[in-house]
Amino acid sequence: MILMKDIVRDPNPVLRKQSKRVQFPLSKKDQKLAKDMMQYLEVSQDPKLCKRYGLRAGVGLAAPQVNVSELMAAVLVPDDNDDPHHPQFKAVIINPLIIANSVQRGAMTEGEGCLSVDKDIPGLVHRADRITLQYQDMTGKKHIVRLKNYPAIVCQHEIDHLHGTLFYDHINMKDRFAKQGDEVLFS
């Protein structure tokens, strides 16, 4: 089970590396990693279990955050009324590729957080409001999905991790809450 002690923290250089492609069929190690990362998200989103294991809640987790430089991340975006049985987007995304970005930009009003960044860094993290995401699932099957708003933001945050980018790299440090043109803000 992944615990906070297993999460790599900035400025560990592994968070700034480019991850490597994952080969199929998945090795036993990669299968366990994928399952453990999704399990972390599920446990962290259950208030009782989250407290019991001393976790920080998360809606995504990328392999470099547990010291594995591979193109793999787990995403579990709960639905609005927090019904655990109907998440907005739940997937282990392997060898993900953003194949289209909307011109429309979006950002979360309250900014973003990261398990690998221990301090809160306020500011708007400007991203594409909608993306077309191509990824392989654990069987190697290729998926192409169109995402918008929160699921799109989370996938961009995770895919950034795979390429050595952290959320605060996108914040305008001279004016942290300056909007970018007509970007969509949402909480």
Ligand X SMILES: O=CN(O)CCNC(=O)c1cccc(Cl)c1Cl
Considering only CA atoms, which of 65, 92, 89, 39 is closest in space to residue 160?
Answer: 65
Partner whose footprint covers residue 45, from Ni ion, ligand X, none (CB < 5 to 8 Å by kind): none
Q: Does 158 bind ligand X (CB under 6 A)?
A: yes
Q: Does 37 bind ligand X (CB under 6 A)?
A: no
Among 30, 70, 112, 129, which residue sits at the site for ligand X (rule: CB under 6 A)? 112
- Burial (CB < 10 A; 0-12, 13-18, 19+), residue 61, is buried
Considering only CA atoms, which of 25, 36, 26, 29 is closest in space to residue 2?
Answer: 36
Given 110, 112, 158, 183, the catalytic residue: 158
Q: Does 130 bind ligand X (CB under 6 A)?
A: no
Q: Give the nearest distance from C-beta 168 to ligand X in angstroms.
A: 12
Let me know if 158 is a catalytic residue.
yes
Q: What token pair was written down for 106? A: 């979006």
The pair phi, psi for residue 61, each rounded to 5°, is -155, 130
Widest Cα–Cα separation across the chain: 47
Among 114, 128, 138, 159, which residue sits at the site for Ni ion (rule: CB under 5 A)? 114
Q: How far apart are CA 154 and CA 156, in angstroms?
A: 5
CB-wise, 51 or 141, nearer to ligand X?
51
Partner whose footprint covers residue 112, from ligand X, Ni ion, none (CB < 5 to 8 Å by kind): ligand X
Give SS3 for 39: helix
- Given a contact cutoff of 8 angstroms between Cβ atoms, the answer to whether 106 and 152 are in contact is yes
Q: Does 92 bind ligand X (CB under 6 A)?
A: no
Q: Does 171 bind ligand X (CB under 6 A)?
A: no
CB-wise, 60 or 87, nearer to ligand X?
60
Q: What token pair was written down for 173? A: 């440090």
- Given a contact cutoff of 8 angstroms between Cβ atoms, the answer to whether 29 and 36 are in contact is no
Q: How many residues lie near ligand X (CB under 6 A)?
A: 16
In the complex, the residues that contact Ni ion under the rule CB under 5 A are 114
Q: Which residues would be at the binding site for ligand X (CB under 6 A)?
A: 58-62, 108, 112-116, 153-154, 157-158, 161
